[in-house]
Structures are given as structure tokens and as C-alpha cells.
Amino acid sequence: MAIMALNPLARVPKPHLHFSLSIPHRSSSSSSFSPQSILNPSRRRRAASFMASASLYHKELAAAKKAASLAARLCQTVQKAILVSDVQSKADKSPVTVADYGSQAVVSLVLKMELPSESFSLVAEEDSGDLCNDGGQDTLKRITKLVNDTLSMDGTYNITVSEEDVLAAIDSGKSEGGPSGQHWVLDPIDGTKGFLRGDQYAIALALLDEGKVVLGVLACPNLPLGSIGNPDKDASQNQTGCLFSAKIGCGTDMQLLNGSTPNRIHVTTIENPADASIFESYEAAHSQHDLSSSIAQKLGVRAPPVRIDSQAKYGALARGDGAIYLRFPRPGYREKIWDHAAGCIVVSEAGGVATDAAGNDLDFSKGRYLDLDTGIVVTNKKLMPSLLNAVQDALKEKIQNAALL
């Protein structure tokens, strides 16, 4: 692969490294700095930590946004012309499409090209196993064409990748992650079932550093700019395709996928659970709808649940379209880190909280799976205590009812 042929101008900007704390000049119009505040160690520490987090992971976030946006273009091309032959079934019978593979290859290639000097570890959902089996050749050809078309669409990469490059790019996602070092975490299409229905899906990409999620990007090609909880009459809000991005300590932004100025977003401020609306999986197989309806009843929630696919739920919650996201897989199902890492930081940097059903933080440092208690609950900080009480009551009730049968 001719990486050397890349246009260097296409590289993401270098980080602004302003780690040193210079003492500002006092001016008569500037009231925020006084000799005391300059000398105040805690204020200096806060300023230093703000400036450090603003510049930290800057080029990684820019690379992640570019990778996810390009992968979203590939997915959009496929979704417009989805063919039955494009859909395969994995061993666990879950669907996987040429777009899942193509998206994973694009993200892997773009990250490596944008961040050539960094060591690269990727924990991603797909692998090339089925593409190497008999009958996989035609699919691989189609994926390779899609990947090349997508990279050339961008106009900044002067490369042509081979089928072997595509297989290698997909299989670079086999990392085990873990508590040390940096690892990218990718769901190339989250909500493949939604993607196949023409509904919501997301390209979800996050970076782990020493076991913590430090940045996340969600590209949601079918998500309207306006609220999904309360559709807007304003036509500009009906544009679709949103890109959410969050970096630790720096908040969450949203912009149009096809380009617009990023806007800072926040979770809802509602405090009365009765006014909340609840997001959950469209697929009853992914989350027990009876449990969320029992929780809603205990909280006095009036609105019917909003059922949508993918981590678009985290994005929509981060901008306040709804107040609560509930996810209760059947017992025995093990959640994967790529289904939550990007969504989690998008919500937490927007002022929300994501925990397991017992109120523990989600731990992304354990490898490819999340070890957690029963389910995942997401909301704002005010609603979380009453939500967790309702969750515990509903879970106890479900166990008692099952014992009576």
C-alpha cells in the first residue's frame, strides 16, 4: 500500500501544545486575574489541567472524526443499494454486511494514515474469517472496491488498496484491549439490524488510554439534526446525519456529518422522572422491554418508550432528546466494549452518567467484554438516584414473579 503517496496536507492538524503556564499581563479591563489568583495553587492547577486536556488527544480526535465520517459515507452508499447477497450471517446468527467490513477497513486504514507515528492497537467487532471461506471472494472484491471508492471520494488519499490490504486492515481489529496503553475501540456499524431496515445505525469509535475512555465519536448517518423526541417544524432541523464527538474534560459537540460548525450539547436538565422519556433498543432480543416498562411505571413516566437502534441513543440522549436510556439484555449475554465506549463518553462529557444496574461505573479496561451487573442505565445526574432505586425494585419484582411461576 503506497502510504508514502499520501498528500501531507491531508494530515490532521498537529496538536497545540500549550502545556506551560505563562503568567498573563494584568490589564485594567481584565478582572479575572488578581495577584492572589495567579499565586493560588489550586487555581493554577485547574488552569493547567484545563489547558492540558484541551490539547491532549487533539490529533487523535481529529483523526477519529475523519475516519468515522468516511466510514459513514461508505455505509450510506451501501444502504442506498443494499443487496440481499451483501448480507451474511455470523456463527451467532447475527447479520454482517459488506458495509460492516468496509467500514472497519476504512477506519483502520484512515487511523493508521493519519497517525503514522503512533503505535496502533484496535479492538473491533468484525474479523475476516468468513471472507476467507469459499464464496467469500466476490464479497471481498466488492468490499475492496467500496473501500477504494470511499478513500478516493475524500480527495486527500492518493492510494489504492488491494484485497490483502483490506483483509489485513479488518484483522488489525483483533486486539484484546486491556488496562494498559492506548487502544482504539470500534463498532464499524452498530445497529446492523437497523441498518438493514433502513433505520438508525452508528459508526462508533473511541480511544482507551490506560483503561479509560478518553475520546469518542459517533457518526449517525440517519439521525435528524432536530430532536427525535419532539420533531421540529423547522425544515433546517430535519436535515439528517449527525457527528457527535467528545474528549475527556472538554465536553461533547455535535455537527452535521456533511460538515457544519460543531455545537456544544448537554443532557436534559429535567429533575422530575414523570417528565422523562425513555430510550431503548428497537430489538426486544437486545433488551427486555417488559423490564423497562416496569421501571417506567415505578418512576411515573408518562411518555411511551422511544425504540431506536444503535448508539444513536447515546447521541440523542447527550443532546437532551430524551432523559433515560435503559438496556437489559437477557441473562447470560456479555456486553462488548465497542457497543458502549464511544456512546458512554459522548453522554458523560455532555453531563450525563452511564452505569450498570447496580450503579457501578462501566469498566472498559477488562478486554473485549464489559463485566457488569445485569444491565446499563444512562441518564442525567439528578435523575440517577431515583432511576437506580426503580431499577432495583423492578429487578427484585421480576425475580419474585419468576419464583412464583
Task: List C-alpha distances in Å: 204 to 181, 306, 343.
Answer: 20, 21, 7
Enumerate residues 333-362 that contact ligand A3P by CB under 6 A: 333, 336, 339
Under the binding rule (CB under 5 A), the answer on residue 114 touching Mg ion is: no
Under the binding rule (CB under 5 A), the answer on residue 356 touching Mg ion is: no
Residue 109's closest CA among 155, 71, 141, 62?
71
Q: What whole-number distance in Å separates Cα of residue 226 and Cα of residue 316?
A: 10
| Segment near Mg ion (CB under 5 A); pick from 78-86, 187-195, 257-265, 266-274 | 187-195
369 binds, among Mg ion, ligand A3P, none (CB under 5 to 8 A by kind): none
- Are 278 and 325 in contact by the 8 Å Cβ rule? The answer is yes
- Smallest gap from residue 216 Cβ to ligand A3P (A): 15
* Among positions 114, 127, 187, 349, the unique one binding ligand A3P when judged by CB under 6 A: 187
Residue 130's closest CA among 162, 109, 100, 108?
100
| 90 or 212: CB nearest ligand A3P | 90
Q: What whole-number distance in Å separates Cα of residue 162 and Cα of residue 67?
A: 19
Q: Which residues of 165-186 are buried (b: 16+ CB within 10 A; e: fewer)?
A: bbbbbbbbbebebbeeeebbbb
Under the binding rule (CB under 6 A), the answer on residue 292 touching ligand A3P is: no
Burial class (CB in 10 A: 0-12, 13-18, 19+), 260: middle
# of chain residues touching Mg ion (CB under 5 A):
7
192 is written with which cell numbers?
446492523
| Segment near Mg ion (CB under 5 A); pick from 89-97, 103-111, 132-140, 143-151 | 89-97
| 56 or 206: CB nearest ligand A3P | 206
CB-based contacts of 48: which residues, under 8 Å, 6+ apart? 19, 21
Q: What whole-number distance in Å separates Cα of residue 160 and Cα of residue 146?
A: 11
Under the binding rule (CB under 6 A), the answer on residue 286 touching ligand A3P is: yes
248 is written with which cell numbers?
475527556
- Smallest gap from residue 81 Cβ to ligand A3P (A): 20
Q: What is the chain's length?
A: 405
Under the binding rule (CB under 6 A), the answer on residue 274 touching ligand A3P is: no
| Segment near ligand A3P (CB under 6 A); pick from 47-55, 69-77, 326-334, 347-355 | 326-334
Q: Indicate the pairing of strand 278-280 with strand 306-307.
A: parallel
Residue of minimal Cβ distance to ligand A3P:
281
Under the binding rule (CB under 6 A), the answer on residue 171 touching ligand A3P is: no
# of chain residues touching ligand A3P (CB under 6 A):
19
* Among positions 114, 190, 309, 321, the unique one binding Mg ion when judged by CB under 5 A: 190
How close are the terminal C-alpha atoms of the chain, in Å?
62
318 is written with which cell numbers?
447527550
- Are 243 and 216 in contact by the 8 Å Cβ rule? The answer is no
285 binds, among Mg ion, ligand A3P, none (CB under 5 to 8 A by kind): ligand A3P
The 295-324 site mask, x for binding ligand A3P (CB under 6 A), equals: --------------xx--------------
Under the binding rule (CB under 6 A), the answer on residue 191 touching ligand A3P is: yes
Active site residues: 100, 192
Which phi and psi (to 5°) does residue 166 adopt?
Answer: -65, -45
In angstroms, how far apart are the furthest CA atoms of the chain? 76
| 73 or 313: CB nearest ligand A3P | 313
Under the binding rule (CB under 5 A), the answer on residue 127 touching Mg ion is: no
- Are 56 and 207 in contact by the 8 Å Cβ rule? The answer is no
| Segment near ligand A3P (CB under 6 A); pick from 71-79, 156-164, 190-198, 214-222 | 190-198
Which residues bind to ligand A3P, rule: CB under 6 A? 94, 125, 187, 189-192, 194, 281, 283, 285-286, 309-310, 329-330, 333, 336, 339
Summarize as ranges the residues that interact with Mg ion (CB under 5 A): 94, 125, 187, 189-190, 192, 339
